[in-house]
A and B are shown apart, each in its own frame.
Chain A
């Protein structure tokens, strides 16, 4: 006993002295929590940095380079200059004027009485709404079905919640030329085959990032049927809900029979009002499910910033009155983007690339398999083709995009490494600059 105590004492002394001599030696045992294992890499951190370093024309990350609409900026200004309460804590689960205007607005759309206090949680962007959904509802060992290509955060969020991601890819329809995101489809059999007794939820994103697919009623009904049959939850990421083109219609899966009580629908003021930097989002769903997300929220961030919520509330009040009319921003924005989408598509086609026309959203995916370049960058030689291509395009041509395999699971990414994603929610001058780069490049060939 005495010997052990002596050894223990000397070990403590040794450790103490090693700490004093080299302050970097700490935590002889494990430092970071296991939940952060394997979720540290992030495509945005890498590519945003590259685009900035090379001062590239940035059609990469998804944010507008034009201003939010006048009325929303005015609303924000008004809130900033409003009384002192605009700069102090508001209600934790959502600023009362905002949850009321969201409830009023969306009740009309889903034809469901949405309770502003029970059925809505306001979050720091749609991103945090997703986080609350996964953390509040997914447990160790739960399986979550993710439809590929997927907004990249779903996978690490599932992992961080202890869940297991199960992937089902959208595939280009057999036979015909793949001209539109509508030609990418989900196989009902393949989806059904992925469901096990451990499946807790399915994540859908419509309009989809990056493809731009806008799921049709039949497609959503197929998913809904499986959710109901197997008693699954559905997390529906609808941040681009107002951005549909060529008559495509956005359908809310929560409005299908039997789905309200099992669906969390996520929305974003950033995408709705072209103000991504405000980071105001929300989750809407049955209070029975939202309440668990509230617990996560109250133990993670607790409140969201007040003034921006006040401004977004005004935005929705305005849109409620103007809904369906030409003055509605929800009409004007897709109209403006429709033209930009066409502009980018023609520009890509004119240089021999094959864009997949998105039915909705901010992005256009392009097949680059026909492009012949010598990717002689040794630093990227172990990466997938599209990653290498995008890095080359940034460094050599000064044009930033995002590699689409970043939106696929490790098991399927190799099948989809010949696509890159462009964001067209940019000023015409930015699109023109991109066009100039592409023309110059194609002329050289």
Chain B
């Protein structure tokens, strides 16, 4: 302590005499000073992030980017027009209601009232957040703490685990398993294995349907199994449904909150970014019963208070427009799914042509690809990393094609089951998919 003080006193004295010397002296004493400036314990071990690493790698414009999940197709023009219009109104450039811009929460109440088959109170049962991400954060911060366990299904959108840990909770992982016995391979949750993960400490289970990265759309029976366990063990359910409108033929999106006994214990998360192909707007929402939502609102009012106004107004307009068109082909929720189904099939063909095995997604805009058949030798790369990490890094560098390694979405124990997969995003222009095709074609020719 006294040595530190001596160094500090020394540096202060030097500082007074010469500003230049000051800087240099501080570099030495900085070390001593900084040792007190430790970060809060809550962020321990949470600084790594797959996106920060791989987005930088894929940023090279010569790389064909099927990695990070954002469209390179334009959003519907009416949504951009609505934003331009909102921005031209004085009042729309100033603060709006903290828990959600009135016209937006009303529109959400309308659209989801229909989807849920119940009256949703726009003021008490809805919270507008900074993306689906912000909703996950608000829910976890509001309802998870030290001593709580949270069940997370692998593969999971990578933020679930660090968010639960930051809230002091303990992530309990359970993998989706591949059943190859059926003619069409299926990913499923083993009921006994799942039941075994629930105990008296289980505070919540996080589900994601349609799932990122696999694209699984949970069936009603599967959701009922989860619901039965939630009710039996009195746990909450955080249902990440950001890809809810992107469900392909033969499948149906089911909201777990609509199953008996589930409304009161579920927070359902949605995203304007995914709904309207405007990920850069970062608007999302949580919907649930007042007794849960009020705590999310408390987190909101103590973290960022309110979301941007003109963006919320524009999303409200977009929702109202599509509400009128619901179930019709012109409805963006339908037309986007149609468009993406075509792209999904196109990418699957491209991948198969190249000798790899696609996992055909039932929903969402990602496709898992099994790269085993390529037999790519990566022994020259860092031994510590999982195969898929090495593969993707190699592929970006050597082939100028970006993907995301799937083990980023699983815990350590499941790494060996998932490291043969990479994730490709197909909400891309046909030209982008064509460019990917060229790369893959020339690759296998070698």
Contact = CB atoms under 8 A, between A and B. Distances in A.
Interface stretch (A13-21, A243-251, A322-330): A13-21
Contacts of A278: 93, 308-310
A71 B137 CA distance: 35
Contacts of A261: 26, 30, 33-34
Contact of B142 (A23, A36, A123, A228): A36
A276 interface: yes
A127 B305 CA distance: 7
B306 A24 contact: no
A304 B130 contact: yes
A317 B141 CA distance: 38
Contact of B43 (A48, A77, A140, A296): A296
Contacts of A27: 234, 236, 265
Question: Taking each of B47, B298, B310, which has the highest tally of chain A beta carbons within 10 Å of its own beta carbon?
Answer: B298
Given A124-B307, A278-B93, A19 B301 contact: no
B349 interface: no
Contact of A44 (B43, B98, B167): B98
Nearest to A33: B145
Contact of A277 (B75, B93, B283): B93
Interface stretch (B83-91, B245-253, B332-340, B357-365): B83-91
B408 to A, nearest CB: 14
Given A296-B43, A305-B280, A87 B75 contact: yes
A388 interface: no
B280 A276 contact: no
Interface in A49-92: 61, 63-68, 73, 76-77, 80-81, 84-92
A137 B19 contact: no
Contacts of A157: 302
A67 B33 contact: no
Interface in B35-79: 36-43, 46-47, 49, 51-52, 55, 68, 70-75
Interface in A257-305: 257-258, 261-262, 274-279, 288-289, 291-292, 294-296, 298-305
Contacts of A97: none
Contacts of B394: none
Contact of B15 (A86, A257, A294): A257
Contact of B302 (A31, A86, A160, A229): A160
Interface stretch (A128-136, A171-179, A187-195, A375-383): A128-136
Interface in A101-142: 123-125, 127-128, 131, 135-140
A233 interface: yes
Interface in B169-227: none
Contact of A306 (B33, B144, B280, B301): B280
Interface string B87-106: 11011111111100000000
Contact of A137 (B39, B55, B159, B232): B39
Nearest to B265: A26
A16 B263 CA distance: 15
Interface string B254-283: 000000110111000000000001111111
Nearest to A302: B133
B280 A277 contact: no
B433 interface: no
Chain B interface main SS type: helix
B263 A23 contact: yes
A228 B277 CA distance: 49
Interface string A304-343: 1111100000000000000000000000000000000000
A91 B144 CA distance: 29
Given A28-B234, A31-B143, A36-B142, A288 B70 contact: no
B43 A86 contact: no
A45 interface: yes
Contacts of A306: 280-281
B95 A258 contact: no
A44 to B, nearest CB: 7
B52 A298 contact: yes
Nearest to A86: B280
A88 B231 CA distance: 39
Contact of A65 (B90, B92, B142): B90
A32 interface: yes
Nearest to B278: A87
B282 A23 contact: no
B181 to A, nearest CB: 34
Contacts of A42: 98, 301
B280 A301 contact: no
B234 A81 contact: no
Contacts of B80: 80-81, 87
A371 interface: no
Nearest to A67: B90
Contact of A36 (B55, B96, B299): B299
Contact of B280 (A33, A90, A299): A90
B31 to A, nearest CB: 10
B232 A12 contact: yes
Interface size class of B (residues with CB under 8 A): 35 or more
Contact of A301 (B37, B43, B87, B133): B133
Contacts of B440: none
B127 interface: no
Given A87-B75, A125-B304, A300-B137, A34 B145 contact: yes
A231 interface: yes
Nearest to A23: B264
A414 interface: no
Contacts of B236: 26-27
A40 B298 CA distance: 5
Nearest to A258: B15
A45 B95 CA distance: 12
Nearest to A111: B19
Interface in B282-313: 282-283, 291-292, 294-295, 298-299, 301-311
Contacts of A229: 8
A150 B13 CA distance: 33
A45 B40 CA distance: 30
Nearest to B33: A231
B411 interface: no
Contacts of B422: none
Contacts of B114: none
B162 interface: yes
A33 B142 contact: yes
A9 to B, nearest CB: 11
A302 B159 contact: yes
Given A16-B232, A33-B144, A66-B90, A84 B74 contact: yes
13 contacts: A33-B141, A80-B80, A87-B278, A92-B55, A124-B130, A131-B302, A136-B40, A138-B40, A258-B22, A261-B34, A277-B94, A300-B133, A303-B280
Interface of B: 4, 8, 11-12, 15, 19, 22, 26, 30, 33-34, 36-43, 46-47, 49, 51-52, 55, 68, 70-75, 80, 83-84, 87-88, 90-98, 130-131, 133-134, 137, 141-145, 159, 162-163, 166-167, 231-232, 234, 236, 260-261, 263-265, 277-283, 291-292, 294-295, 298-299, 301-311
Given A63-B94, A73-B93, A308-B308, 12 more contacts: A20-B261, A88-B70, A88-B71, A92-B52, A92-B55, A228-B12, A258-B15, A261-B34, A277-B309, A299-B159, A301-B282, A302-B131
Across the A-B interface, give the 4 residue pairs with the lowest CB-CB distance, nearest first.
A277-B309, A306-B280, A33-B145, A292-B39
